[in-house]
Amino acid sequence: MSEEPATGRDRLAQIHDLIRERIMMLEYPPGERLSEAALAAEFGVSRTPLRRVLASLEDEGLLRSVHGVGTIVTDVDLEELAQVYRLRMELIVLIPRLDPLPVTTEVISGFRELHQRALALRHAPAARDFAALDRDMFLALNALSGNQPLRDTSERLYFRTARIWLQAITASDIDLENEAEIYCRETAEILAAVEALNLDALSHLRRAHIAMSFSRMR
Amino acid sequence: MSEEPATGRDRLAQIHDLIRERIMMLEYPPGERLSEAALAAEFGVSRTPLRRVLASLEDEGLLRSVHGVGTIVTDVDLEELAQVYRLRMELIVLIPRLDPLPVTTEVISGFRELHQRALALRHAPAARDFAALDRDMFLALNALSGNQPLRDTSERLYFRTARIWLQAITASDIDLENEAEIYCRETAEILAAVEALNLDALSHLRRAHIAMSFSRMR
DNA sequence: TAGGATTTGTGCGTATGTATT
DNA sequence: TAATACATACGCACAAATCCT
C-alpha cells in the first residue's frame, strides 16, 4: 500500500524523474521538442505545476525552453562531455574518502545482482538494457557515500551526459557486443572489490572504467 | 550602455542573484518568511515569473516553500555544513588539475586588489564587508578553472553555506578582529602563490584555510 | 512579405492548506 | 472548537515570440 498517495510534491518529483528517465533513454532524444500541454494532459495536471518540473530539468541542463518555439531536449557537445567526465572521475574517488557508509551484505548482494545482469546482457545485448544497467551501477556506487552534497552533485552530472553514451551506442559508433563483453569484466572486478570491502580499489576501478569508456566513445 | 536591457530571461537571472545575495548577507536570515507578492511588487513582475526564480532557489537548497505557510529561508545544520565543507575542500584542489586557465596579469592584479581589501578590513572590521570579500575571493579562485561543471558545482555549494559563516561571525561566536587578522595573512599567502604562478600551491593553501575556518566556527 | 498556427511566458482569480485568535 | 486571515498551489485566459506557408 505504498503506491499512489503521490499528492502534491511527491507527484511532481515522480514526474520529474520520469521525464528525466525518458530523456536519458532517448525516448526524448536531443533536439526533441516537448509539449507542455501534452505532458500536462498525460500526467493529469495543469500546465503550471508541470512547468515547475520543466524548470528544474532546465536548471539541470537537460532542457531548454525557448519562448515561442518549445521546450527542447539539450544536446551535449564534445567539450562539455569531456569536462563532465573529467569532473565525474574525480568525484568517484571521493566516495570512500567522504563519509563512506558501511558495506553490508545487502550492498554486496546488490552488486552481485548487477554482475548477473551484465552476464545476461552479454548473451542478449540491448542498448536500452545496457543503459539501465549502467544507471543502476552508478546509483549503487553513489549510495556508498553518506555525503549528500556529493551524491546530489554526482547524480546531476551523471544524468547530464548519460544519454550521450547511449546515443553513441545506438548510432553504432561503438560495437555493442564488444561493450557488453567489456562491461562484464568490469562488473566482475567491481564485485571482487566490494566483496573484499575495499572501497578505495572499487572507486579507482570505476574511475578507470569511465576513462576507458570515454576513450572508446570519442 | 550595457545596463537595463534586462528583459525576460536576463531580468529573472538578476532577480535570482539579488535574492541569493540577500540570503547570503543575512538580509533574509534563516527562518525568514519571504512574501511572493511583496517580492513580485518590488521587482515589477507578476507572481508567476517570480515563482520561477524562487523555484530555482529552492532547488539550490536556499529556500523551502510550504503550502499555506510561506517561502522560508532554510537553515543549515552542523552535519550538512560539515559535509558541504568536506566536499568543497576536495573540489578546491581540482581547480589547477581540471582545465586550468592561464594566469594573466589581470588575474594577478585582481588578487592583489583582494589582498588590499583584506588589509583595509583589518583596520575597519565589518561583518558584511568580510562576507563580501570572502565571496569575491571565492569567485576569483573559482574563475581559475575552465571546467564549467566544476565552477557551477562549487558556486552552488559555496552559496549553500556561506551565510552560516557570516551568521557565526555576527553572533560573536567568533572574534571578528582576530578573523580579519587571519584573513590578511591568508590573502598574503594566496597572492604570493598566484604571483609565483603556482596554482597547485594556491589551491592547497585555500583548502587549508577553509579547513581552519571550519575548525574555528565549530 | 505577410499572416496564421503553435508555442512558451505572464497575469490574475480561485482553491487549498496552515496558523492564530 | 470554530472562524478568520493569509500564505502558497493551481488552473485558465491572454500576451508575446517564433516558424512556416
Contact A8 B67 (CB under 8 A): yes
- pLDDT lower than 70: segments of chain A: 1-6, 173
CA of B67: nucleotide with nearest C1':
D8
Provide the whole-model pTM: 0.94
Mean per-residue pLDDT of chain B: 94
CA of A66: nucleotide with nearest C1':
C8
* pLDDT of residue B3 exceeding 50: no
How far apart are the CA of B140 and the nearest CA of chain A, in angstroms? 20
* pLDDT of residue B86 exceeding 80: yes
**For residues A167, A36, A54 and B148, what is the CA-based torsion angle, rounded to 10 degrees?**
50
Q: Which residues of chain B make contact with A8, given a CB cutoff of 8 A? A: 67
- The pLDDT score that the predictor gives to residue A50 is 98
- Whether residue B178 contacts residue B194, with contact meaning beta carbons closer than 8 Å, is answered with no
Spanning CA of B48 to C1' of D13, the rounded length in angstroms is 14
- The pLDDT score that the predictor gives to residue B174 is 76
Q: Which residues of chain A make contact with B147, given a CB cutoff of 8 A? A: 83, 86-87
The pLDDT confidence band at residue B172, using thresholds 50, 70 and 90, is confident
Instruction: Give domain A78-217's CATH number out of 3.30.70.920, 2.40.50.100, 3.40.640.10, 1.20.120.530.
Output: 1.20.120.530
Among A113-122, B7-16, B152-161, B170-179, the minimum mean pLDDT is found in B170-179
Q: For strand C, which nucleotides have at least one atom less than 7 Å from a protein CB?
A: 6-13, 16-19
- The pLDDT score that the predictor gives to residue B175 is 87
How far apart are the CA of A87 and the nearest CA of chain B, in angstroms? 7
* pLDDT of residue B1 exceeding 70: no
Domain ranges of chain B: 8-73, 78-217
For B180-189, what is each residue's pLDDT tens digit? Answer: 999 999 999 9
How far apart are the CA of B116 and the nearest CA of chain A, in angstroms? 33
The pLDDT > 90 percentage for chain B reads 91
- The pLDDT score that the predictor gives to residue A1 is 32
Q: What is the DSSP string of chain B?
A: --SS---THHHHHHHHHHHHHHHHTTSS-TT-EE-HHHHHHHHT--HHHHHHHHHHHHHTTSEEEETTTEEEEPP--HHHHHHHHHHHHHHHTTTTTSSBPP--HHHHHHHHHHHHHHHHHHHS--HHHHHHHHHHHHHHHHTTB--HHHHHHHHHHHHHHHHHHHHHHHTTSS-HHHHHHHHHHHHHHHHHHHHTT-HHHHHHHHHHHHHHHHHHH-
* pLDDT of residue B31 exceeding 70: yes
User: Cell numbers at residue A109, please?
Assistant: 548482494
Residue numbers of A between 4 and 63 with CB closer than 8 Å to B: 8, 52, 55-56, 59
- The pLDDT score that the predictor gives to residue B171 is 82
* pLDDT of residue B4 exceeding 50: no
CA of B65: nucleotide with nearest C1':
D8
Residues A26-31: contacts with CB under 8 Å, at least 24 apart: A26/A163, A26/A166, A26/A167, A26/A170, A28/A73, A29/A73, A29/A163, A29/A167, A30/A73, A30/A74, A30/A75, A30/A76, A30/A163, A30/A167, A31/A72, A31/A73, A31/A75
Instruction: Give domain A8-73's CATH number out of 3.20.20.150, 1.10.10.10, 1.50.40.10, 1.10.1200.10.
Output: 1.10.10.10
Contact A153 B55 (CB under 8 A): no
Q: For strand D, which nucleotides have at least one atom less than 7 Å from a protein CB?
A: 6-13, 16-19
The reply to whether A67 has its C-beta less than 7 Å from any atom of strand C is yes
- Which among B56, B98, B157 has the least Cβ separation from residue A149? B157
CA of B70: nucleotide with nearest C1':
D7
